Structure 1
Amino acid sequence: MIVFDLQCASAHVFEAWFGSGAAFEDQQARGLLACPLCGDARVIKAVMAPNVGVKGNRGADSRSTSPTPKMPPPAEIKAALKALAATQAHMVRQSTWVGRGFADQARAMHDGVVEQSAIHGAATLAEAKALHEDGVPIMPLPFPLLPPETVN
């Protein structure tokens, strides 16, 4: 696993884990990456300081003020992703798919026009930004979701 600092076009910087550099490039090319803060899909690698180890004949730099964080073992990462996927699956089962009508339905609930309920669906980046700016409580799902009508 490799961790990259990513940045959206709105200058939000966030971390993401990938199986390899090629996996990042593949997901970026297919438009699968989005900023967790604003949903912007225009995501690039941010400038990062390289993590260069000390020479074999020297000890750690005594001037360092913080230890280098250690990456969790792959088994722990897999377990965490599995738990996150299970939580998303549970939440999806407990909510109603509203498809492309998500933005309208979420706004109607927020405005008190329709009764509050748990929903999930699809929204464009512009729709999601408008909902966020208007204080409508929404969040992107961490894993892609297929519409029910496309699942066998």
Structure 2
Amino acid sequence: MIQYSLKCADGHSFDSWFQSAAAFDKLAAAGMVSCAVCGGSRVEKAVMAPRVRPGRTAVSAVGEPEPQAAAPAVPAPVPAAVAAGRREPGMLSRPSGEVEKAIAELRRKVEENSEYVGGRFVQEARAMHLGEAPERAIHGEAKLEDARELIEDGVPVMPLPFRPGRKSN
């Protein structure tokens, strides 16, 4: 896993975890990396300092071993999903700002209190509106044109400020 500092075209900064550098490049090229604040898909790596520890026997310019202060080995913070064994590309690290915290809380509540229907969202929402399916809280994915049609037909829907979590094998 690798953590990148990222920024969007609107200047929002955030951190995200990826399986590898190649995984970031692939996801970013496909437009699947989005800003944690505004949801924009124009995201790039920000300038960041790598976490590098000096070697055990660092040598000075004159060839003598340099004395090293005993630095405690502090592991990098790991997102809860990683600690739980779930590897999701583009996982966000801990929310840093008030907006990110509010979005994280909204996401938690939506996922706890509604059913994820994925790409069947439009069909499920329409069926509930027409009384053909039992009413329940759902969330999923829809194309922009399909979401507009639902709104024009009077189906109460709204976009969420985050992408649904992808389930892996």
Give the TM-score normalised by structure 1: 0.53
Q: Unaligned stretches of 5+ in structure 1?
A: 102-114, 128-135, 146-152
Partner in structure 2 of residue 45 of structure 1: 45
Is the 1:88–1:141 Cα contact (8 Å) retained in structure 2?
Answer: no
Matched, 1:141 2:163: yes
Aligned equivalent of 2:115, options 79, 91, 109: 91
Is the 1:98–1:119 Cα contact (8 Å) retained in structure 2?
Answer: no
Matched, 1:79 2:85: yes
Q: How far did residue 53 of structure 1 move?
A: 0.7
Give the number of the structure whose alpha-carbon radius of gyration is greater. Answer: 2
Is the 1:31–1:41 Cα contact (8 Å) retained in structure 2?
Answer: yes
Q: Unaligned stretches of 5+ in structure 2?
A: 58-67, 92-109, 126-134, 148-157
Is the 2:34–2:43 Cα contact (8 Å) retained in structure 1?
Answer: yes
* Amino-acid identity (%): 32
Change (3 A) 1:68 1:12: farther
One-letter identity of the residue aligned with 1:59:
A
How many pairs align?
A: 111
Whole-Å separation in 2 of the counterparts to 1:139 and 1:11: 17
Q: How far did residue 116 of structure 1 move?
A: 9.5
Change (3 A) 1:117 1:70: closer
One-letter identity of the residue aligned with 2:26:
D
Whole-Å separation in 1 of the counterparts to 2:115 and 2:87: 15
One-letter identity of the residue aligned with 1:3:
Q
Give the TM-score normalised by structure 2: 0.48
SS in 2 for 1:79: coil
Q: Where does structure 1 differ by over 6 angstroms across 4 or more consecutive aligned residues?
A: none
